[in-house]
Amino acid sequence: MAQSKTQFGYCRHADQHRAGTDIAEYPIVVVGAGPVGLSLAIDLAQRGQRVVLLDDADRIGEGSRAICFSKRSLEYWDRLGVGSRMADKGVVWSVGRIFHGTSLLYQFNLLPEEGHKRPAFINLQQFHAEAYLVDRVQELSAIDLRWRNKVIGLEQRNDHAILTIETPDGPYRLRAIHVVACDGARSSLRQMVGAEFAGQVFEDQFLIADVKMTAEFPTERWFWFDPPFHAGRSALLHKQPDDIWRIDLQLHPDADPAVEKRPENVRPRIARMLGHENFDFEWISLYKFQCRRMDKFIHGRVIFAGDAAHQVSPFGARGANSGLEDAENLAWKLDRVLRSLSPDSLLESYHIERSAAADENIRESTRSTDFMAPGSRQEARLRKAVLSLARETDFGKRMINGGRLSVPSIYDSPLSTADCDAWRGGPRPGASMLDAPIAVRAGESAYLTDAFIKAGTRFTLLEFANGAAVDAPDDIGTIRIGGNDGFSDSLGLVGARYDAAPGTAYLLRPDGYVAARFRQPTRTALDAALARAAGIN
């Protein structure tokens, strides 16, 4: 496929000609065209909403930044029509190795089983991901992407907000029923609503370098504690497409950033790590980490998503991936509220579900960072004990924390209907649907995640045939496994992963999370679960 554009032009829009109180109105204005804002806009547009997407720059940011995109994110991007492009370009991986000094302590496989459309992770530079998303945006006429449109003012009203937007042609104003702020860690919208953004700051500095080289390392995540090339600190090596390698080195807290960042100082460190000097720098960046979130993700008419709402340390790939989970959680809810199918209060469940997920991500990434940079002599001593015990015990290996990688949260949600039947497995209400291979009757193979998209990416009943079809409402999608007209569970994995028996049915939300499940669903129980999941109480 042709190289995607990364530089875009500013275009004056007719809305900017309007004067005084004659302000253009849109149902949704998304601020920030990063991975989260772009994905959210695509999702909303595919659901039939008009979206204005504003970005203060006119180009896709440089540097790899986020590189690890999770299975869940790929499944979301499949729904948005960009999953294959991402997966084809990305470097697929599922194995991680952890070293102490020169010896291998532990190795893990994040997706040890077969039968999933998407791998545990791909590594892909954020600028590639954004470029593919922009390409997709440009296929959708419902999205109006405006570069060099910087929000400089916000007025909150009862049922809308008015944004003042700075452009090269001067300012103009827009009225939005809902504003979604996806404008990153330094969110200006967050400052405009006056929200606190407090949390834990980590003193340790990390140096991130992307280097270009041809190398024979396997496509795995390698993590070192106290490696010979970087004594006393930690290091990470990870492959990206186009012979680019991500190297992440922990520095001493008192290291001088300006000095450390100079290529002539970075080069010898990396040469020691790689054992040669045949590499070029693509990007060097120094980081200090913060773990924090907003108290409330919704402020009047402004909803916050991604880094604007929460920030984590990067160990665990929980930044961009959790932002994409925000987008998939929010899009269907906004769509239903704008269509008056659900009350405004459905949006509150976005805050409930995603702020709990943010807490989980912060907890996990804080633990990883603390393990890498112990805060006291006793913490360092406990870590030393874990690393030495890992050489001869299984429990020691499992206690090493070199980053716990992102998996979808399980929501403890008001939208879920509690189980009333007995289950020995399967995703419980509030958990994300599991993928599995299916066969279309003609013998063509596919995946459950494909079937979910074919069913309309809406409320969908996944039913395991037991004679006649379940009496379900007309306006929901259906995925039928077995029976004369259903998909065939060719490898038995759908049944196994869903603890299914004939008659079992799962009600999936439009974001693919389980709302309710039944051994033998009745119409009354289904209607009640559907109403609850749609926030209609």
Partner 1 sequence: MALSTSSNFAKPDDAFRAIVEAHRGLSDEESADLDAALVLILANHVGDLDVLREAIALAQRRMVAAGQQQQQQ
d(CA 35, CA 126) in angstroms, rounded, equals 8
Burial of 242 (0-12, 13-18, 19+ CB in 10 A): exposed
Residue range at the interface with partner 1 (CB under 8 A); choices 188-196, 334-342, 374-382, 516-524: 374-382
Looking at residue 15, the DSSP 8-state letter turns out to be: G
CB nearer partner 1, residue 195 or residue 372:
372
How does strand 298-299 pair with strand 121-123? unpaired
Smallest gap, in angstroms, from Cβ of residue 384 to partner 1?
Answer: 7
CB nearer partner 1, residue 212 or residue 384:
384
Q: Is 533 helix (H, G, I), strand (E, B) or coil?
A: helix
Residue range at the interface with partner 1 (CB under 8 A); choices 116-124, 128-136, 394-402, 437-445: 394-402
DSSP annotation string for 412-423 = --TTPPPP-S--
How does strand 103-109 pair with strand 95-100? antiparallel
Q: Which of 113, 395, 444, 537 binds partner 1 (CB under 8 A)?
A: 395
Residue 367 as a binder of partner 1 (CB under 8 A): the answer is no
Strand order in the sheet with 514-518: 477-481, 460-464, 505-508, 514-518
Residue range at the interface with partner 1 (CB under 8 A); choices 127-135, 326-334, 384-392, 476-484: 384-392
Q: Which of 23, 213, 271, 389 binds partner 1 (CB under 8 A)?
A: 389
Smallest gap, in angstroms, from Cβ of residue 322 to partner 1?
Answer: 25
Q: Which of 292, 296, 384, 519 binds partner 1 (CB under 8 A)?
A: 384
Residue range at the interface with partner 1 (CB under 8 A); choices 31-39, 69-77, 219-227, 388-396: 388-396
Smallest gap, in angstroms, from Cβ of residue 386 to partner 1?
Answer: 6
Q: Is 162 helix (H, G, I), strand (E, B) or coil?
A: strand
Q: How many chain residues bind partner 1 (CB under 8 A)?
A: 12
Residue range at the interface with partner 1 (CB under 8 A); choices 169-177, 245-253, 366-374, 393-401: 393-401
- H or E segment at 367? helix 346-372
Q: Which of 358, 384, 360 is closest to 371 using CA atoms?
A: 384
Q: Which of 198, 201, 385, 501 binds partner 1 (CB under 8 A)?
A: 385
d(CA 266, CA 84) in angstroms, rounded, equals 36
Dihedrals phi, psi of 388, to nearest 5 degrees: -75, -35
CB nearer partner 1, residue 162 or residue 399:
399
DSSP annotation string for 301-329 = TEEE-GGGTEE--STTS-SHHHHHHHHHH
* β-strand partners of 329: none
Residue range at the interface with partner 1 (CB under 8 A); choices 97-105, 131-139, 268-276, 380-388: 380-388
Q: Is 508 helix (H, G, I), strand (E, B) or coil?
A: strand
Contact pattern from residue 166 through residue 195 relative to partner 1, giving x for each residue in contact according to CB under 8 A and a dash for the rest = ------------------------------
Q: Which of 81, 241, 343, 396 binds partner 1 (CB under 8 A)?
A: 396
Smallest gap, in angstroms, from Cβ of residue 391 to partner 1?
Answer: 12
Count how many Cα atoms sit within 13 Å of the Cα of residue 480 in the half-sphere of its side chain.
15
Residue range at the interface with partner 1 (CB under 8 A); choices 109-117, 387-395, 408-416, 510-518: 387-395
Residue 374 as a binder of partner 1 (CB under 8 A): the answer is no
Smallest gap, in angstroms, from Cβ of residue 291 to partner 1?
Answer: 23
Q: Which of 102, 388, 520, 522 binds partner 1 (CB under 8 A)?
A: 388
CB nearer partner 1, residue 114 or residue 395:
395
Site for partner 1 in 418-447 (CB under 8 A): none
Q: Which of 87, 358, 386, 465 binds partner 1 (CB under 8 A)?
A: 386
Smallest gap, in angstroms, from Cβ of residue 277 to partner 1?
Answer: 39
- H or E segment at 211? strand 199-212
* β-strand partners of 167: none
Residue range at the interface with partner 1 (CB under 8 A); choices 303-311, 343-351, 395-403, 468-476: 395-403
d(CA 131, CA 450) in angstroms, rounded, equals 24
Residue 378 as a binder of partner 1 (CB under 8 A): the answer is yes
Contact pattern from residue 398 through residue 417 relative to partner 1, giving x for each residue in contact according to CB under 8 A and a dash for the rest = -x------------------
Q: Residue 341: CB partners within 8 Å, gap ≥ 6?
A: 534
Residue 381 as a binder of partner 1 (CB under 8 A): the answer is yes
Site for partner 1 in 227-266 (CB under 8 A): none
> Are 409 and 356 contacting, i.e. CB atoms less than 8 angstroms apart?
yes
Residue 11 as a binder of partner 1 (CB under 8 A): the answer is no
d(CA 95, CA 111) in angstroms, rounded, equals 8
Beta strands in 390-476 (DSSP E): 437-439, 445-447, 460-464
CB nearer partner 1, residue 103 or residue 376:
376
CB nearer partner 1, residue 3 or residue 378:
378
* β-strand partners of 303: 180, 298
CB nearer partner 1, residue 7 or residue 395:
395
> Are 322 and 361 contacting, i.e. CB atoms less than 8 angstroms apart?
yes
Q: Which of 201, 205, 312 is closest to 249 using CA atoms?
A: 205
Helices (H) and strands (E) in the chain, counts: 14, 25
Residues that bind partner 1 (CB under 8 A): 378, 381-382, 384-386, 388-389, 393, 395-396, 399
